[in-house]
Homo-oligomer: A and B are copies of this chain.
Amino acid sequence: MFIVIFRATTRELDAEYSVTAARMRELAMQEFGCLDFHSVCEGREEISLSYWPDEASIRAWKNHPEHLLAQQRGRERWYESYSVEIAQVSRQYQVTGK
C-alpha cells in the first residue's frame, strides 16, 4: 500500500476550495481506487493523507483533467506552498485506548 502525504500552507480559502476538495476526494475514491482519505487543517496548515493500492493508481489520479485543473487553482489561489511525498507502507498497526 502507498500513501500520498500532502502538506500545505494555505492562503485565504473560499467556498470553491471546499467544493473542489470534496469533489477531488470523491473522484479519488470512486474512480481511481483510493482506499482511504484523511485531511486535517489547523490555522494555515493542512495535512491530507490518501491511501492507495499501487503507484499506477496515484499517477492516473494525478493526471486526471479535473484534478490537473484543481492543482492549477491550488497553486494560483489556495496554497502558498505545498509538498507531496509518495511513500510505501512497510508496517502498520492500530491501538485502541484503555
A85 to chain B, nearest CB (A): 5
How many monomers of this chain does the complex have? 2
A-B contact pairs, 30 of them (CB 8 A): A2-B90, A3-B85, A5-B49, A38-B47, A40-B40, A40-B45, A40-B46, A40-B47, A41-B42, A42-B42, A47-B49, A55-B90, A75-B95, A75-B97, A75-B98, A76-B97, A77-B97, A78-B97, A81-B97, A82-B94, A82-B97, A83-B93, A83-B95, A84-B91, A84-B94, A84-B95, A85-B91, A86-B89, A86-B90, A88-B88
Interface residues of A (CB under 8 A from B): 2-3, 5, 7, 11, 38, 40-42, 45-47, 49, 55, 74-98
